[in-house]
Structure 1
Amino acid sequence: MLAYAPAALLLLVFCVSVLHDRRKFSNAVVLGLAVLCALAAWLYELIRSDSTSGVVAAWSLLVVGAVAVLLLTYFLFVNGVRMLRREGRSPANLLSLAAALSIVGVVALLAAAVSVRNPVLTGVAAAAGGLALYFSFLFLCFVCYAFLYGRLRVRRKADFVVVLGSGLIGGTTVPPLLASRLKRGQDVHARLAKRGGSPLLITSGGQGPDEELPESHAMADHLVAEGFPAHLIRREDRSTSTEENLRFSKAIMEEAKPDYRCVVVTNNYHAFRAALTARRVRIRGQVVGSPTAAYFWPNATLREFAAVLVDYKRINVVLCSLIVLGGVLVWWAVR
């Protein structure tokens, strides 16, 4: 059982960290490391038992992993094509397709390195494989913890509900994506009001170059048309990004009530990254998500993951450089 000690310790660290602040990406990484350590300990115990179970388990994991890679590649390719047909050929809509092609490229490179046994190709393949494993691990951590974060209940009372904007159709109309956020905002507001509070709802979003009015104004008009009381709405109409949404909304909340608590509402694919940003700008509150169309979710999740990588670019550059250096060492060893 001593083999499971690292996994148990990491799980304890994870639980303590989540209780302290659930809005940290390190929570996702620690949880992923705990699962990896537990899996490694399980395999170690099976192999040490001198039975065929360890060998069978190891081969089963390899087969499951290979099948998972094939299915994931197919799923990403199909989703990428669907995104292009429904949403257009913008760079942001190409992420699913790019991810599928990247997986195919890495697998082909590894196969070529094994077949040709060229030192340079082997070093490049080692570096590419290492980078693929690194980003795959981080992505799985991100997706799993984002799923978990979205199901953690907001138990405290709140003074404000902040709904983040996402762009308008034709410059004036609230699209379905934003309408789902507003619907969730209304639901959260109603639940908080039942607890005896009297929260205000802040619609947050400035005016884009192709919009005839600020997003926050269109959002407020949509809420009023749905029967929400106009006197409970405040409008933040200067922001052009998620960070500005939160910073400018924070200023409104601090002015009204310095010791405020809030709930921020966005779409489910965006909730965890919005929570990371809320922590960075020191918002006192949690983030909840609203439903998103199934076909839109994979590409949007990849976009959010890429944005998180950029937010932590220093550590990622260092670790990726070490992986590339490992590829150089492999080349040096086999040349």
Structure 2
Amino acid sequence: MFTYAAALVFLVFCVRVVLDPRRFSNAVLLGITVVLASVSAFVRPERPPVSLRTTALAACALLVLSALALAFLLMANGVKMVRREGSRPGNLLTLLTGLAVLGFLTLLGTAAVGRSPALVRVAAFATPPVGYVSFLFLCFLGYALLYGRLPMRRDVDFVVVLGCGLVGGSRVGRLLANRLDRARRLYEAQAARGNPPLLVTSGGQGGDEELPEADAMAAHLVAAGIPEDRILREDRSRSTEENLLFSKRIMQEVKPEYRCLVVTNNFHVFRAALTARRTGVRGQVVGAPTARYFWPGATIREFVAVFLHYAKTNLGICLALGLLGLVALR
């Protein structure tokens, strides 16, 4: 039964990806498919109860060991982030996440061994929401990796590059340079086919910046050999949503029935795609490389942003699951 259910959910997933890959529900469907397929691989009528019990215990042990390994890897990455990037709140995210995972495992172990009624109730309340958030995160991570590898249109009218702040108030940093280099390669590949796109550099001027990000980005592209008359500047935006909304207006003025590619860093691709769909931008999102040590914290930050975008729904589900955990304890 689980095998058929997994096949059906996967079929729905494939259809929805073809219709529009920029949906978070696609990530959830992919996660449900994996869960159903995993259950079907272990739960079979011909297996004796003892074998099923042994398999379940082994799976639980593997899950705990994996969570422990993840906690220590996250904490090690957090220490590296602080050493290389400083102790700003965003750079502490992997360290704090690792500590949270370790703290939750400690709570479960203490509740199981100590049998304290208060700790058991706390664990019963916390476990279902933690499971829900973990499931959503794995869905987000898995589909984000898949989305970044989906084939995109070869020829588009525009390539939009999202800004991400200037170093020292005036210089293009490594993250932004990677985005611009990816945009340049897309431009050159299409220009070689005789149909060069227009490049849109998108980014306003922050309070600590000497010029709009769009201007610094355009100068970087011109220095890399892109003709200045192939660059349009969107210099008012302060967020990803504004990047896309304001760039959309520019593209519609030039060509109402446009198609575009949006360039950002790989950790930001899926959230940018969700935002592009929400703002009505006609195009997909592609990623540029990111330093490996920077990727885990940035990915967690992206997931938190998506989770909080639907805060009322997600927090309501977490509360309901926590209460169900307490009810099941009785």
User: Could you say which residue in structure 1 is the equivalent of 2:188?
Assistant: 190
The unaligned stretches of length 5 or more in structure 1 are none
What one-letter code is carried by the residue in structure 2 that aligns with 1:97?
A: L
Q: CA deviation at 1:59?
A: 3.8
- 2:129, 2:319 within 8 Å by CA — same for their partners in 1? no
Q: Per-residue CA shift, 1:135-175, capped at 9, x if unaligned?
A: 11111111110000000011252100000000011111000
1:148 is matched with 146
Is 2:71–2:98's contact at 8 Å kept on the other side of the alignment? Answer: yes
CA deviation map 1:228-269 (0-9, x unaligned): 111100000000000000000000000111100000000000
Cα distance in 1 for partners of 2:211, 2:282 equals 29
Separation of aligned partners in 2, 1:234 and 1:283: 17
Instruction: Please name the residue that 2:174 is paired with.
Output: 176
Alignment of 1:262-277 (within 5 A): 262-277=260-275
The corresponding residue for 1:237 is 235
Answering whether residue 235 of structure 2 is matched by residue 252 of structure 1, we say: no
Residue 43 of structure 2: aligned partner: 44
Over the residues paired in the alignment, what is the CA RMSD in angstroms? 1.5
How many angstroms apart in 1 are the aligned matches of 2:231 and 2:84? 34
**Which amino acid in the other structure matches residue 121 of structure 1?**
L
1:65-214 matched pairs, under 5 angstroms: 65-214=63-212
- Tell me the residue number matched to 1:217: 215
Evaluate the alpha carbon distance shift between residue 33 and residue 115 of structure 1 in structure 2; reply closer, same or farther with a 3 A threshold: same
Q: Which amino acid aligns with 1:21?
A: D
Report the number of matched residues: 330
Amino acid at match of 2:261: V
Alignment match, 2:24: 25
Aligned to 2:290: 292
In 2: Cα distance, 1:326 partner to 1:120 partner: 16
Q: Which deviations, in whole Å up to 9, do the C-alpha atoms of 1:180-199 show, x marking residues without a partner?
A: 00000011122233344231
Counterpart residue type for residue 265 of structure 2: N
Work out the CA distance in 1 between the residues paired with 2:122 and 2:51: 35
Task: Find the residue that maps to 1:234 and give its secondary structure.
Answer: strand
Alignment of 1:308-327 (within 5 A): 308-327=306-325
Given that 2:204 and 2:235 are in contact with CA atoms closer than 8 Å, whether structure 1 keeps it comes out as yes
Q: Which amino acid aligns with 1:212?
A: E
Contact 1:163-1:204 at 8 Å conserved across structures: yes
Distance 1:55 1:117 in 2: 23
- Alignment partners' CA distance in 2, 1:135 and 1:48: 34
The alignment's TM-score, normalised by the length of structure 1, stands at 0.95
SS of equivalent to 2:167: coil
Report the AA paired with residue 301 of structure 1: T
Distance across 2 between alignment mates of 1:292 and 1:285: 22
| SS of residue in 2 equivalent to 1:48 | coil
**Alignment partner of 2:297: what SS?**
helix
Give the aligned partner of residue 5 of structure 1. Answer: 4
CA distance, structure 2, for counterparts of residue 127 and residue 190 of structure 1: 55
Q: Which amino acid aligns with 1:31?
A: L
Inter-partner Cα distance in structure 2 for 1:42 and 1:290? 37
Tell me which moved more, 155-164 or 175-184.
155-164
Superposed displacement of residue 289, structure 1: 0.2
* 8 A contact 1:203–1:235 mirrored in 2: yes
| Bigger mean CA offset, 129-138 vs 61-70 | 61-70
Among 309, 327, 330, which residue is 1:329 paired with? 327
TM-score normalised by the chain length of structure 2: 0.96
* Residue pair 2:263, 2:285 contacting (<8 A) in 1 also: yes
In 2 relative to 1, CA 24–324 (structure 1 residues): closer, same or farther, beyond 3 Å?
same
Contact 1:123 1:329 in 2 (8 A): no
2 CA distance for matches of 1:328 and 1:64? 26
Q: Secondary structure at the match of 1:243?
A: helix
Q: Which letter maps to 2:131?
A: L
